[in-house]
């Protein structure tokens, strides 16, 4: 069910637009060998084992793909208790300039009226269908204070308290999504 047009939809592409760094091409120096995954013994930690169980992997967590994202989304829908209270994991890219001294508190407060802030608390209501590799799983969230609804990449969110099963589920997703893209 899509959110009404009056609600803000932010994807990772949009959130990262102001904070992307240019990708650098690094040439190998003479004598340096390319690292081969077969050159080291991998032993999954507890986080990796949980992700591997969710995605049906046996050796290591699989890379992020449309298929693995859909498997993960389905798992979260079946195992998370929703709604769930969440907040921002870190300042959202649109807010960075305010925390680095380039914007005023008044301007930040004004922009927070129409944009989600990492300082806000939200109710996580569910997930958009058809996640993609660039944006991951999009979370349908509702700000607690004014009930405005947004779409936001799930990797930008964390539970308000770490004392719920949802905390581990969300934390495992974020760790996998960030490390295996």
Q: 136 pLDDT exceeds 90?
A: yes
User: Of 48, 86, 84, 56, which Cα lies nearest the Cα of 175?
Assistant: 48
0.85 exceeded by pTM = no
Could you report the per-residue pLDDT of 13-29, keeping only the tens digit for each?
A: 555 544 443 333 444 44
Q: 144 pLDDT exceeds 80?
A: yes
DSSP 144-169: TTT--EEEEEGGGEEES-SSSHHHHH
What confidence tier does 44 reach under pLDDT thresholds 50, 70, 90? confident
Q: 163 pLDDT exceeds 60?
A: yes
- Over pLDDT 90: what percentage of the chain? 63
**Contact call for residues 149 and 7 (beta carbons, < 8 A):** yes
Out of 25-34, 44-53, 85-94, 158-167, pick the least confident: 25-34
Q: 39 pLDDT exceeds 70?
A: no
- Over pLDDT 70: what percentage of the chain? 77
What confidence tier does 12 reach under pLDDT thresholds 50, 70, 90? low
* DSSP symbol at 39: G
Instruction: Specify the higher pLDDT residue, 35 or 123.
Output: 123
H/E element holding 46?
A: helix 46-55
**Contact call for residues 150 and 8 (beta carbons, < 8 A):** yes
Query: Residue 15: what pLDDT?
Result: 52
Q: 7 pLDDT exceeds 80?
A: no
Distances 104 to 17, 93, 95, 98 between C-alpha atoms, Å: 21, 16, 11, 6
Residue spans of the domains in the chain: they are 8-16+45-179
């Amino acid at each position: 069910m899509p959110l009404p047009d009056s609600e803000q939809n932010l994807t990772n592409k949009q959130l990262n637009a102001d904070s992307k760094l240019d990708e650098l091409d690094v040439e190998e120096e003479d004598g340096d060998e390319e690292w081969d995954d077969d050159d080291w013994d991998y032993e999954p930690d507890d986080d990796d084992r949980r992700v591997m169980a969710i995605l049906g992997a046996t050796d290591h967590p699989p890379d992020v793909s449309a298929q693995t994202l859909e498997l993960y989304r389905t798992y979260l829908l079946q195992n998370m208790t929703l709604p769930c209270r969440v907040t921002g994991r870190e300042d959202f890219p649109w807010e960075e300039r305010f925390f680095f001294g380039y914007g005023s508190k008044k301007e930040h407060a004004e922009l927070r009226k129409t944009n989600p802030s990492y300082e806000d608390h939200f109710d996580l209501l569910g997930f958009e269908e058809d996640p993609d590799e660039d944006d991951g799983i999009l979370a349908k969230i509702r700000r607690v204070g004014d009930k405005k609804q947004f779409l936001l990449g799930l990797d930008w969110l964390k539970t308000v308290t770490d004392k719920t099963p949802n905390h581990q589920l969300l934390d495992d997703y974020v760790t996998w999504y960030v490390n295996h893209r």
